[in-house]
Amino acid sequence: MDKYEKVTELARRRGFLWPAFELYGGAAGFYDYGPLGGPLKRRIEDTWRKFFVIEEGFAEIEAPTIGVEGVFQASGHLSGFSDPLTSCGECKEIYRADHLIKHIVEVPDALSNEEIFNIIKDNEIYCPECGGNLSNVYEFNLMFKTMIGPGNKMPGYLRPETAQGMFINFPRLLRYFRDTLPFAAVQIGKSFRNEISPRQGVIRLREFTQAEAEIFINPANKTHPKSSEVKEIRVKFYSQAAQERGEPEDMTFGEAVDCGIIAHQVLAYYVARTYQFLLAVGISPNLMRFRQHKSDEMAHYAADCWDAEVFLDRLGWIEIVGIADRTDFDLKAHMALSKINLKVFVPFNKPVKRQKLMVKPDMKALGPMFKGKAKAIADALKALNPEDLRGDRIKINIDGEIVELDPSLVSYGIVEEEVRGEEIIPHVIEPSFGIDRIIYAAMDHAYYEDTVEGETRVVLRFKPAVAPIEVAILPLMDREDLVAPAEKISDELRSLGLRIDYDTSGSIGRRYRRNDEVGTPYCVTVDYETLEAGTITIRDRDSMKQVRARTDELAKKLKALFEGSIQFQEAGVPINANEQ
């Protein structure tokens, strides 16, 4: 059994991840989070919130998972997500139908499936592999479609990314942030892609969870005020050049920006924050690297794009986060389709004085003269240069018709005006996290086996901040005199908000092993000394060592352990379990 199998088997058996709809035969690409997977996911999301909502001050919003057509027309998902396919009747090979006719038609995108098929037939195109006949052209769209309301009037689509929710709320977000750049909004939620062939468990899902941030910045200033806080952090960069060589290179974020490997400070800062977040949820730094998109895989509008990749047993290097400078692509697209101004007014430090040509058409004269065309003529006049306005006759072109005017019909002059700022379209830095993949990676990297007295001990070495169970309360034996105080301790710790598991079944060793397997950082045992001396023992998952502490100090000690303000040995008096 390889590690992938061990981890997925453990995840299934102990209630982290379950294939969805098992009762009815299942469906590929859908998973349930079980009683331990649910809390693990929530705690990883909460850690993300701590990093990006609390510490970075980004605004968390929640948009519908179903979007109307315009959203995905503008985003490009409706056209870009829908590929015309054709397959060979002989060898069953599948082809992009539009790619087969690229040498015949300039823009195959513009054609219907039927037109593409006709071109394939008329030009006698056969299967490039075996020469067989090609089937009808059909559409495969990765968007899940539905209907909003009765009557099939309004199509809706399950969102393929959470990002659009931030883009289409841009005007309200801008107002919320008092019309000032930079600002950012985030969203944690479900996205949906009707993948052709979901594989590899939770790595490729049809319904999955994303945590995305859209950071709107002024394109003229791609520096970050906190970049000095991360510039000494050293990671493995797998830049375009490094990929050519086949070897990632170790350097600090400061160096990566200085030598131009990362496009700019803002991008570097959020790549660094991503690194810190991934460490916080238990991704191993040795099994992590940052890979730059090659120019041919980068979206055409992106200025630079870095993926956080983790190494997973059997699966290899898997992308878990993408951090892209999407420039002004998204806002421009929504501006073009919605006709809503999504620009931001950015004031200059000092107002600029500027000479400006002022053209004043004499509307009183032009109106009666040209009637309906008067406005078009006036607009054309305003667009002219001073040279054109001089001379005996002014010639303008209105929809191909040359109109000649007497110069007396328009007056003009140079005026001085004060310009206080300019309208810009913000650029967007987008860190996009695949939460499900991060959860799987956190389990894979936490998985650990050792051998104790000839038995294999399986441990998930979760960070306490993400462990689904934080403390197990275990009466040494299932006896009333031990059970009663143990229940009391459980209730007290629960009232403090700790995730407690209380277990009396089987031997103490068996319960330790069970808790190791689900990653419980600390086990507390209640024994006869609890009754006599008012003390309990605390057991550390990773070292299997125990200390004895006062029962009335337990909550305080646990809190300190979780905060990392004390070492385990400082939580009480060390004891050697084997001597007892």
Site string for RNA, 410-439 (x = CB under 7 A): ------------------------------
Considering only residues 145-184, where is the footprint of RNA by CB under 7 A? 160-161
Among residues 77, 273, 334, 463, which is the contact residue for RNA, using CB under 7 A? 77
Interface segment toward RNA; rule CB under 7 A; list 36-44, 108-116, 339-347, 448-456: 448-456
* Residue 65 sits in the site that holds RNA (CB under 7 A): no
Q: Which of 148, 153, 164 is nearest to 72 (CA)?
A: 164
Q: Does 528 bind RNA (CB under 7 A)?
A: yes
Query: CA dist 118 to 86, 92, 97, 124, Å?
Result: 12, 20, 11, 10
Residue pointed to by tokens 């803002």: 266
Residue numbers 309-328 binding RNA by CB under 7 A? 314-315
199 binds RNA (CB under 7 A): yes
- Comparing CA positions, the residue from 283, 304, 289, 314 lying closest to residue 437 is 283
C-alpha to C-alpha distance for 423 and 341, rounded to whole angstroms: 10
Q: Any contact of residue 195 with RNA (CB under 7 A)?
A: yes
Determine the Cα–Cα distance for residues 386 and 411; give it in Å rounded to an integer: 10
Among 57, 64, 89, 94, binds RNA (CB under 7 A): 94
Tell me whether residue 251 or residue 508 sits nearer to RNA (CB atom). Answer: 508
Residue 524 and residue 572 in contact, taking contact as beta carbons nearer than 8 Å: no
68, 148, 374, 477: residue in contact with RNA (rule CB under 7 A): 477
For the sheet with 573-575, list strands across it: 500-502, 471-475, 522-526, 535-540, 546-550, 573-575
SS3 sequence, 239-278? Answer: CHHHHHHCCCEEEEHHHHHHCCCCCCHHHHHHHHHHHHHH
> Which among 192-200, 212-220, 281-289, 377-385 is the span making contact with RNA, rule CB under 7 A?
192-200
| CA distances in angstroms from 293 to 182, 256, 309, 326, 427, listed in the order given | 25, 15, 12, 13, 19
User: Quick one: 211 or 405, whose CB is closer to RNA?
Assistant: 211
Give the CA diameter of the chain: 113
Q: Which one among 148, 242, 333, 577 touches RNA, defined by CB under 7 A?
A: 577
- In order of 88, 127, 503, the CA distances from 105 in angstroms are 21, 18, 70
Residue closer to RNA by CB (options 200, 252) is 200
Residue 178, both tokens: 């008092």
Count of positions on this chain that bind RNA (CB under 7 A): 65
Q: Which stretch in 49-57, 255-263, 344-352, 523-531 sits in contact with RNA by CB under 7 A?
A: 523-531
Among 514, 519, 520, 521, binds RNA (CB under 7 A): 514
CB contact at 8 A, 123 and 105: no
Confirm or reject binding of residue 510 to RNA (CB under 7 A).
yes
453: tokens are 């007295």
Question: What span, in angstroms and rounded, lies between the C-alpha atoms of 342 and 166?
Answer: 13
Q: Is 254 in the site for RNA (CB under 7 A)?
A: no
Q: How far apart are CA 502 and CA 496, in angstroms?
A: 15
Exactly one of 3, 26, 228, 259 binds RNA (CB under 7 A); which one?
26
Q: Is 27 in the site for RNA (CB under 7 A)?
A: yes
User: Which residue in the set 47, 87, 162, 327 belongs to the binding site for RNA (CB under 7 A)?
Assistant: 87
**Cα–Cα separations (whole angstroms), residue 552 to 306, 488, 492:** 50, 12, 10
State the nearest-atom distance from the C-beta of 242 to RNA, in Å. 21
Q: Whose CA is closest to 504, among 473, 527, 478, 465?
A: 478
Which of 529, 550, 553, 562 is the binder for RNA (CB under 7 A)?
529
- Is residue 214 a contact point for RNA (CB under 7 A)? no
DSSP 498: -
Among 199, 164, 89, smallest CA distance to 133 is for 89
Residue among 40, 184, 185, 476 that touches RNA (CB under 7 A)? 476
Residue selected from 54, 196, 352, 496 as contacting RNA according to rule CB under 7 A: 196
Smallest gap, in angstroms, from Cβ of residue 580 to RNA?
A: 5
Using CB under 7 A, pick the residue from 3, 42, 92, 395 that binds RNA.
Answer: 92
Structure token pair of residue 423: 């309208």
Order the strands of the 145-148 sheet from edge to edge: 66-68, 154-158, 145-148
Q: Quick one: which segment of 288-296, 302-310, 326-334, 536-544 binds RNA (CB under 7 A)?
A: 536-544
Binding status of residue 144 toward RNA by CB under 7 A? no
Confirm or reject binding of residue 556 to RNA (CB under 7 A): no
| Rounded Cα distance, 393 and 378, in Å | 15
Instruction: Of 376, 350, 374, 372, give the one whose Cα is nearest residue 364.
Output: 374
> Is 295 a binder of RNA (CB under 7 A)?
no
The answer to whether 541 and 520 are in contact (CB under 8 A) is: yes
Identify the residue among 402, 456, 480, 564 touching RNA (CB under 7 A).
456
> CB under 7 A: which stretch of 188-196, 258-266, 417-425, 483-491 binds RNA?
188-196
Using CB under 7 A, pick the residue from 50, 56, 73, 81 that binds RNA. 81
Which CB sits closer to RNA, 205 or 394?
205
For β-strands 522-526 and 471-475, DSSP reports them as: parallel
- CB nearer to RNA: pick between 94 and 104: 94
Residue 479 in contact with RNA, rule: CB under 7 A: yes
365 forms part of the interface with RNA (CB under 7 A): no
Interaction of residue 545 with RNA, rule CB under 7 A:
yes
Q: Verify binding: residue 457, RNA, rule CB under 7 A.
A: yes
Helix (H) or strand (E) holding 191: strand 183-192
Q: How many CA atoms lie within 13 A of 187 on its CB side?
A: 21
Which of 101-109, 260-268, 283-291, 452-460 is the region at the interface with RNA (rule: CB under 7 A)?
Answer: 452-460
Binding site for RNA (CB under 7 A): 9, 12-13, 19, 25-29, 76-77, 80-81, 83, 87, 92, 94, 96, 142, 160-161, 193, 195-201, 204, 299, 314-315, 452-453, 455-458, 476-479, 505-510, 512-514, 517, 525, 527-529, 537, 539, 544-546, 577-578, 580
